[in-house]
Chains A and B, each alone.
Chain A
Amino acid sequence: AQSVTQPDIHITVSEGASLELRCNYSYGATPYLFWYVQSPGQGLQLLLKYFSGDTLVQGIKGFEAEFKRSQSSFNLRKPSVHWSDAAEYFCAVGVSSGTYKYIFGTGTRLKVLA
């Protein structure tokens, strides 16, 4: 069955430190992969996506993610975290069983220390 796993429920980093949020997926076909960010009380904002091609994708707000097929992973990274990055981050895979839809991970809540 298709699934997305985000092993870290909470992560705390200091401002200026680097960040890596983990995402593993289970899907038999070529995945379409996404990272979304949700600030408190807000909707889901697309950070970046991977469809094909270069496995390192750049997104908004200085984020990047690397697709590793051998590890079924799509980890999100940022070299230097800002206090405004505190939010919840969701990894999602687009699947085409039935209609095309997203399967989301459980999310990682990021806290940034000043």
Chain B
Amino acid sequence: EPEVTQTPSHQVTQMGQEVILRCVPISNHLYFYWYRQILGQKVEFLVSFYNNEISEKSEIFDDQFSVERPDGSNFTLKIRSTKLEDSAMYFCASSEGQPGKTQYFGPGTRLLVL
């Protein structure tokens, strides 16, 4: 069964450093998402992406964040200058379409900012 994959599974970085989280969505999916889960808290929507542009971003998704689909398979989330509060689990998701279609989640990348 096709699945969403994410790399790395864990990343530790120093505050102020740039990180890139990578995702490979399911191949025939058209909509891509990033969500974040701070430890002990709920999963929160960050951004949605369709047709090579951002469809919607949340208040969390400030200028420090960016997303791109550099080729036909990868979908990346970049944090330019990490802050302590960026420490979280980041989930990538993809779906065939909208609305109502199921979003399939990757296993997540646990980011720790020191």
Residues of A contacting B33 in the complex (Cβ-Cβ under 8 angstroms) = 101
Interface of A is mostly: strand
B side interface size, CB within 8 A: 26
Which residue in chain A gives the minimum CB-CB distance to B104?
A46
Compute how far the CA of A34 lies from the CA of B103 in the bound complex, rounded to whole angstroms: 10
Interface size on A, residues (CB 8 A): 24
Contact A102 B104 (CB under 8 A): no
Please tell me which one of the listed residues A49, A98, A104 contacts residue B43 in the complex, with CB atoms under 8 A apart: A104
A67 beta carbon closer than 8 Å to chain B:
no
Which residues of chain A have C-beta atoms less than 8 A from B18's C-beta?
none
B42 touches A49 (CB 8 A): no
Main secondary structure of the interface of B (DSSP, over half): strand
Given A36-B105, A46-B104, A99-B48: A106 touches B41 (CB 8 Å cut-off): yes
Chain A residues within 8 Å of B43, by CB: 44, 90, 92, 102, 104
Among B42, B101, B108, max chain A CB count under 10 A is at B42
Q: Chain A residues with Cβ under 8 A from B42's Cβ? A: 90, 104-107
Complex CA gap A45/B44 in Å reads 16
Asked whether A83 is an interface residue with its Cβ less than 8 Å from the other chain, the reply is: no
Could you show 10 A-B contacts with beta carbons less than 8 Å apart? A43-B6, A43-B106, A46-B104, A51-B100, A94-B103, A99-B48, A99-B50, A100-B31, A100-B48, A103-B45
Residues of A whose CB lies within 8 Å of any CB of B are 32, 34, 36, 42-46, 49, 51, 90, 92, 94, 96, 98-107
Which 9 residue pairs across A and B have the least CB separation, nearest first? Answer: A43-B107, A100-B98, A99-B56, A100-B99, A99-B55, A44-B105, A98-B56, A104-B43, A96-B99
The chain B residues found within 8 Å of chain A, CB to CB, are 6, 31, 33, 35, 41-45, 48, 50, 55-56, 91, 95, 98-108
